[in-house]
Amino acid sequence: MKTDFLVIGASITGINVARELKQRFPDAAVALIDKENGCARHSSGRNNGVLDAGFSWSADSLKARFCKEGNQQLTRYCESKKIPVNKCGELVIARDGDELSALDELQRRADGNGVKLEQVTARQATEIEPRAKVHEHALFSPTTASVDPVTVMQRMEQDARDAGVKFYYETSFLRKAGDEFVTTLGTVQADYVVNCAGLYADQIAQEFGFAEGYRLLPLKHNYLESSEVPGAFRTHITAAADLSGSYPGVHIVLGVDGKAKLGPAVKPALWREQYHGADGFHPFEMSSVVTTGIGQMFQGGREICKACLQRFTGSAQSRLITAGNRLVEGIRLSDYRDWVRPEIQPQLVNTETHRMVSDFIIEGDAKSMHVLNTVSPVFTCSMPLAKYVCEQIAAATGK
Ligand SMILES: Cc1cc2nc3c(=O)[nH]c(=O)nc-3n(C[C@H](O)[C@H](O)[C@H](O)COP(=O)(O)OP(=O)(O)OC[C@H]3O[C@@H](n4cnc5c(N)ncnc54)[C@H](O)[C@@H]3O)c2cc1C
């Protein structure tokens, strides 16, 4: 196969990059490969579908830069395609007096990012969400929303096809061989490679000499599905103290259908796609995760250790129920029995600082570009992120 651009990963990042490339370079051939038999088989089809408002990231991050615009663009995209959007908003609370300062910090970040975040009294908060346990006052984000990620992905895939992107499923990128690229479909000649391979993006980047300072710690996220009727909650509910840290804590999230989920319980996966038990057992990856990822975790001392151990020990159902009951009234074990499909984040750890990387990382040159650490909220950020990636490609190639 010969192509101008070879994009790896038929998912929210890869499909948006491919669409953007086609828009920027209409005469160029854009081929998109994925090892699975359809789009969005990993994070992009398994996530919560929350359109994040963009108030929790500090202004100097790529996440802050793309989240507000991504939320607006994806909302408009869905509306234009008649894809349902649940505009339920998000209530951010303090669980006690010690957490009130976290509300102030989020308000500062929202102001810095130009994101609308309303101060509400305890009374107004309980009018928004009668079951919320509000301490003194709270914040309400009117633009946080939910969509069905699979529906969005299917539509975006169709749009990309209509724009002329060629899809090749069941085609794995294997390695770089000089100026050519070896895939399970055969050798590909491509002028430019864009790596949007999610859980494998770091490995592929390393083939090209990038992502050298990072190791992957795949983190598995599990949520409990509520059997309460849709509408039992009116809005997403989060604790401010959990949002102002580097990793979200237990929260209540609503689907596009109004059904609630409680989570996440987070623990390291032993290999990159270890969704259930021994499925896809990969001994090489396991030893790599154990020796690098978990090894990094302990070398990294407190921060990583504490984050992982807290989440590891927080994985039991009853612990999630206890955490949920600190946010809202009436979370009963009998209503939260079933786990939804787990998702695994491609969390990178910096090998020098031994810290978990918070922001997205884009590395590349005149031959290839690599989109790394595509953790939450990449789904929300995907459209402006893809535009930015293509700008980097244009700058690197002088096109
Ligand atoms: C529990 C959880 C909930 C989340 N909820 C939200 C949310 O509500 N809102 C939000 O904005 N974000 C959310 N996120 C984050 C979001 O889901 C991800 O950041 C995003 O989907 C990542 O997309 P991606 O395209 O980078 O990677 P992926 O969706 O993982 O796609 C990578 C693709 O690359 C392919 N691939 C990998 N290796 C190869 C290879 N060698 N050859 C060919 N193909 C390959 C894979 O098959 C896959 O299709 C959540 C994350 C988690 C963990």
Q: Are 315 and 267 in contact (CB under 8 A)?
A: yes
Distance 275 CA to ligand 1 centre (A): 13
Distance 355 CA to ligand 1 centre (A): 21
In one letter, which amino acid is 177? A
Q: Determine the pLDDT at residue 247.
A: 64
Q: How far is CA 99 from the centre of its chain?
A: 26
pLDDT at 55 over 60: yes
Q: Which of 247, 379, 383 to mutate to test the pocket of ligand 1 (most atoms within 8 A of CB)?
A: 379
CATH superfamily membership of 1-49+148-213+360-399:
FAD/NAD(P)-binding domain (3.50.50.60)
- Ligand 1, residue 49: give the atom nearest the CA: 8
With the most atoms of ligand 1 within 8 angstroms of its CB, the residue from 7, 19, 35, 43 to mutate is 43
CA angle 395, 17, 81 (to 5 degrees): 135
Neighbours of 59 (CB within 10 A): 12
Residue type, 386: A
pLDDT at 159: 98
The model's pLDDT over 178-216, given as tens digits with 9 standing for 90+, comes to 999 999 999 999 999 999 999 999 999 999 999 999 988
The domain limits of the chain are 1-49+148-213+360-399
Taking residues 70-85, report their average pLDDT: 98
Whether 355 has a pLDDT exceeding 70, the answer reads yes
Task: DSSP letter for 294, please.
Answer: I
Tens-digit pLDDT profile for residues 26-37: 999 999 999 999
Max alpha carbon distance in the chain (Å)? 65
Q: Is 383 in the pocket of ligand 1 (CB under 6 A)?
A: no
Q: Catalogue the E-assigned strands of the chain.
A: 2-8, 30-33, 50-51, 90-93, 118-121, 137-141, 145-146, 166-168, 173-177, 180-183, 186-195, 214-225, 236-239, 251-254, 260-268, 338-339, 343-350, 361-364, 368-372
Contact predicate 210/201, CB 8 Å: no
pLDDT in tens, 268-311: 888 888 888 888 888 878 887 777 666 666 665 555 566 555 55
pLDDT at 258 over 80: yes
